[in-house]
Amino acid sequence: MQAQSQNHVQKSRHTRTIAITGGKGGVGKTTVALNLAIALSERGQKVLLLDGDTDLANVSIMVGAYPERTLADVVAGRCALQDVVMKTYSGLHLIPGASGVEACMDLSERDSLAVLRALHKLEHRYDTVIVDTASGLQSIGLHMIAAAELACLVVTPDPASLTDAFSLLKVLKRRGYRRTPGVIVNMAQGASQARSVFQRFNGASQRHLQWSLSYLGALWRDETLRQSVLDQTPVTVLPASDPSCRQFHSLAEMLNVHLGRLPPRKAGIAAYWYRAARRAPATSKEARSPAFGQKTAREHCQDLITQFERALAAAPDDVMLRYEAFTRLLALLGSNPDADTVEIIQTSLAAMDWQQLSASDRANMALHLRHLADELAPEPPAEQVPSESRGAPDEPLYDRVIFGEQEKLVRALQQKPADMSLEELLQGLAGKDSTDR
């Protein structure tokens, strides 16, 4: 009877799915995902945190754990999914993802079915599943956002963070994403700055994408939060009176309120991945090109990138090698420019650490970009540009040569005889009389 009751609870439970994402690394996305998951756990929810960052899978490290098995072992058939689930603070369950998340998408339909079926059974044991996605525009990260019920976009006041987050929104919009993303402003100096950052970001989204965003809340920059990362101890395990801990509980409360207003999704993360895996063979996964042997175009490009990195690393001082290589790559990128090309260039420029350049080099780069901007979108001719200093064409001008200073004219008007007309007075000031007409 008890087993039947537990099965009924699992079937009736509606799992809420949240994707914590960001346009670039370094915005504190993983810190937000982990502390938010713990805060929800402490509120009595059963929470599963899936580390979906395929490049920097580090959620487990932030709680001081170094797992021997990850989702990649499940995909390879070395263990069951339940074997990789870790239990950490406040009863939070964690799945170390690493490259196993992406591997799920690359498996054939038959091979991935067992893994996805296991994930489907697992996720419905929880009230909330939080996915810490990869940053940026990686395909797997976009899939995770599409699979989740709510996407929480983490931004900071840093202009580069906002630029990259906007690029992510543009890609989601172009791919047909229709739900409303939520925004969390991290590393803010205070409530007023956080609101200002969101309003500026939301305003740009409304103007250029016709897309209104939801403000979920903000997190302040403080030393306690930074030290918690170094200590591998989340701030949400500190006493509830601690300001750093309290702000995540406030965020969790706002998130629950926001989720309560959303219509529940019937399909979970596993169901989405299963549909995506079924669509993949028709595109690139099984479309083998004779020119690449048994490799896909993506696999072949990744191999070439690895060789490219090794070649540059072997000759770090060869300036001409770097010049020729990157010039040809950029020429290839610009051979058929489109909206994607613009987005790639914008993201690449924002990712560069310009502060490492000397002041003169930064000035030269800025000057070049201004010249390039003038070529891409030239300013209209000067005569078409309205100028505050230039009067309207029909605006009357006072002629000091003829009438003298304006003060003199005012005095003359005040002393003008009653029988003298204004025209006669002006002619007198100009040295004429009525007979000159």
What per-residue confidence (pLDDT) applies to 1? 42
Angle at 411 between CA 409 and CA 414, to 5 degrees: 110
Q: Across the 437 residues of the chain, what is the mean pLDDT of every consecutive 10-residue run?
A: 44 76 85 93 92 67 79 78 88 76 54 67 87 76 83 92 91 88 92 93 93 93 79 84 89 90 70 62 43 61 79 79 78 76 71 75 80 73 45 50 65 70 69 50
Quick one: 6 exposed, middle or buried, by C-beta within 10 A (0-12, 13-18, 19+)?
Answer: exposed
Angstrom distance (rounded) from CA 379 to CA 47: 55
Which residue type, as a one-letter code, is found at position 350?
A: A
Q: Using alpha carbons, list the distances in angstroms from residue 370 to 171, 375, 378, 379, 381.
A: 26, 9, 11, 12, 17
- Taking the mean position of all CA atoms in its chain, how far away is CA 162? 6
Whether 403 and 410 have beta carbons less than 8 Å apart is answered as no
Whether 177 and 145 have beta carbons less than 8 Å apart is answered as yes
Quick one: 219 exposed, middle or buried, by C-beta within 10 A (0-12, 13-18, 19+)?
Answer: buried
What per-residue confidence (pLDDT) applies to 128? 92
Other Cβ atoms less than 10 A from the Cβ of 411: the count is 11
Cα torsion for 160, 163, 167, 172, to the nearest 10°? Answer: 100
Question: E-strand spans in 93-181?
Answer: 93-95, 128-133, 150-155
Token pair 């083998």: residue = 288
The H-assigned helical ranges of 295-338 are 297-314, 319-333
Phi and psi for 130 in degrees, rounded to 5?
-110, 130
CA torsion sign for 300, 305, 308, 309 is negative
Q: Using alpha carbons, list the distances in angstroms from residue 301 to 55, 136, 306, 344.
A: 17, 19, 9, 16
Whether 115 and 1 have beta carbons less than 8 Å apart is answered as no
Angstrom distance (rounded) from CA 16 to CA 18: 7
What per-residue confidence (pLDDT) applies to 204? 93
Its pTM stands at 0.61
What per-residue confidence (pLDDT) applies to 347? 65
Whether 248 and 235 have beta carbons less than 8 Å apart is answered as yes
What per-residue confidence (pLDDT) applies to 47? 94
Structure tokens at 219: 């997190």
Distance from first CA to last CA of the chain, Å, rounded?
118
Angle at 60 between CA 102 and CA 244, to 5 degrees: 120
**Residue 248 CB partners (closer than 8 Å, separation 6+):** 35, 36, 38, 39, 219, 235, 236
What per-residue confidence (pLDDT) applies to 182? 94
